[in-house]
Amino acid sequence: MPGKDRDEESGQYTDTYSAEAMLRAIRELGGLAGTSDVAEEVGCARDTAYKKLKKLQDENRVESRKVGGALVWHVVEGNE
């Protein structure tokens, strides 16, 4: 299963692309990053990055705004 690693002991899948990896990617990209940029930085599919970033937004850890036709993400203060 792409983007998931299987835990050898439990047999359950673990998430390869962590929330921390997404937050770190935004920071490393200068604090503002498009979905595709985050995906490339982390090494995952754009759709995977979008779903992770959307979940982080639901948790108030990142915010987004539309710039042109793209979403630009930034880390919410206090989650840095």
Q: Which two tokens stand for residue 47?
A: 């759709």
Question: Where residue 8 falls among pLDDT bands split at 50, 70, 90?
Answer: low
Domains identified in the chain and CATH numbers: 18-75 (1.10.10.10)
% of the chain with per-residue pLDDT over 70: 80
Round to whole Å and give the CA distance between 6 and 62. Answer: 28
pLDDT at site 9: 73
CA dihedral 15, 64, 58, 46 (to 10 degrees): -30
What's residue 77's pLDDT?
84
The set of residues, in sequence order, having a beta carbon less than 8 Å from that of 23 and lying 6+ positions away, is 56, 61, 62, 75, 79, 80
Per-residue pLDDT band at 1 (split at 50, 70, 90):
very low
